[in-house]
Amino acid sequence: MSSKKKFCETQKCLFVILVAVAAAIAAICVVTLTDENLREKRSLEPLPWWKTSIVYQIYPRSFQDSDNDGTGDLRGIKERLGYLSDLGVGAVWLSPIFLSPMRDFGYDVRNYTDVDPLFGNMADFENLISEAKDKNLRVILDFVPNHTSNESEWFYWSERGHKKYKDYYVWNSGIECAAGCDDTGGRRPPNNWLSVFGGSAWKWSGIRQKFYYHAFLDSQPDLNLRNKNVQTELQDVLEFWLQKGVDGFRADALKFMFESPNVTDDETGLTDTFTWIEADNHNLTTNLPEVYDILKGWRAVLNKYGKDKFLIAESYGISHEIRDKYYESGSIPFNFALIQYLNKSCNALCMRDVIQDSLGGLNSNWPNFVLGNHDNSRVANRFGPETIDAFNMLLLTLPGTPTSYYGEEIGMRDTFYTYRETKDTAGLNYNETQYMEHSRDPERSPMQWDDGLNAGFSNGTPWLHVNHNYQLINVKAQKLADRSHLKVYQQLAKLRQDPAFTHNSVQFVNISDVGGNDKTILAYIRAQINSDKYLVVMNFGHQYANNVDLSKGAGSENGMVVVNAMSAYQKEMIDLKSVTLSRGQGLVIKVM
């Protein structure tokens, strides 16, 4: 037998095999990294529901009345879940349903873990959750952590100095007053801090003989979030509703949750009142950094019930620096830029700048947009009824999660109420010549379902009367029409499920390429590797835009219209070198 070893019994063999394996692995990596299709397939993962869903805000008082007492309720909402499912929304956000004296329509909470009888009972809520899940709809609750009602049991005991509750709120003895302070125990407020709704933010308690702080109405005392027991109480509230099956929370008025412990005067040049946005200038009472630790605590609670639980933070007018800290704390800061900065004088260039600024610096953080809510006039009133479809197209085709306010899908208008008809305390705080500037009733009128009694909202007397235009603007009529705002909205909601729209980037078409219409036409591309490519174009000008050349920006001369805000006809081929858009018209075009 030969004394020589076979080749594969030597180290040379092992070395050759290792080299071959390494080369094969390298080749696979090169193919994967250079082949965009393979790379994209590997990177795509299922998105959480809130990245692919439209969030639909319901103001419960005004959506559907089931028992004919004139007020919308939980059973009424349950009756309309089929409509919401057909509409194409994925989540329902309910404005407050908690037990409340309703001085601020539920944003003054008496008991966080009870349903107000106005809306039904806990069984009604549980049935709503069950039915929503059957229809694959998520439910989000409005959570009000900054303050309670002064009728809350917590405030009752705090005002009486109970050992556990005495520091649940922000109390101060005030300053001795030489004269004119007989009603406040001879003392005056400790500083010049103001309420958002006007006047001093301090209210005297004759029971406790101290002032309490209220950023909003004097019937809404601010909680002391520096108190660990208060923090625990609020986390317990979240747990309670998570156990009931809710999918997330919209946290209200977070910027106001902490005030400086040093109660010095605010030197920012205060007037009799200030708006939510102006509040950002008052750094003693808004946007204090302690809010981020509170959010992290809430995020930890939500994560116990699943990391897909949604937490969105109300955050009017915040800087990008503060926005990023909200993200880092486990929440999504509500982006109000489209409400705050868009108006009739904001042209297409302005709109593009607002959107780009909103998306700027987000990196991997998920964007969101909202066009309207219960505190702002409706789109038709702010921009004109001819722009309704274009603005719904904008909202539903931008990157991120859109939030849509009830009735905007059919183009509801603000409703006029006389001073005597007004219910909103924010308006009633002013006289008959000023109330309309502050009342939020006009955008809270009942949903218009059909052309019957009270627009199908209630067989009783509605808490606010329906808009007089309900026989023309209602869901039933728009379902039957060949073309309607409702049908455009449904088409857009369906289109949003295309992979081209389920990522967080957008490519604006260079507006200088659109034939001199730079101030009227807004256009952008939504596309993703391995998906179709779409061009979204809208005319926000006051006249026709003729022969607009979009071919260079689209990278093609041909396209097919998949959504047309001015026509019931789809699937039409279009020459991208010469596009004509009427005022308020929007198109979604599949680039061929």
Q: Which of 222, 252, 266, 441 is catalytic?
A: 252
Partner residues linked to 139 by β-bridges: 92
Enter the tokens of residue 314: 């109300």
3-state helix, strand, coil in the chain (%, to 5): 35, 15, 50
Q: How far apart are CA 520 and CA 514, in angstroms?
A: 10
Residue with tokens 């038709």: 380
What DSSP letter does each residue of 493-505 carry, written as one string? HHHTTSGGGSSS-
Residue 354 exposed, middle or buried by CB count within 10 Å (0-12, 13-18, 19+): middle
Measured between alpha carbons, how far is 73 from 127 in angstroms, rounded to an integer? 13
**Cβ–Cβ under 8 Å, residues 258 and 170:** no
Distance CA 89, CA 495 (A): 12
**267 Cβ neighbours under 8 A, 6+ residues apart:** none
> Residue 328 corresponds to which amino acid?
E
Name the burial class of residue 239, with classes exposed (0-12), middle (13-18) and buried (19+) by CB atoms within 10 angstroms of its CB: middle
- Known catalytic membership, residue 252: yes
> Distance between the two ends of the chain, CA-based, in angstroms?
73
Name the CA radius of gyration of the chain, rounded. 28
Candidates 108, 124, 259, 314; catalytic one? 314
Number of helices (H) and strands (E), helices first, in the chain?
A: 19, 23
Alpha-carbon 402 to chain mean position: 7
Q: Measuring CA to CA, which residue among 305, 308, 264 is closest to residue 282?
A: 264
Q: Is 389 a catalytic residue?
A: no
Look up residue 102 and give its two tokens. 């309703």
Query: Which tokens in the block code for residue 113?
Result: 């873990």
> Alpha helix (H) ranges present in 205-306?
228-243, 290-303
Residue 267 to residues 24, 194, 201, 279, 284, Cα–Cα distance (Å): 70, 12, 15, 13, 10
Distance separating alpha carbons of residues 527 and 507, to the nearest angstrom: 9
Q: What is the dihedral of CA 193, 196, 197, 200, to 10 degrees?
A: 0
Which residues are tagged catalytic?
252, 314
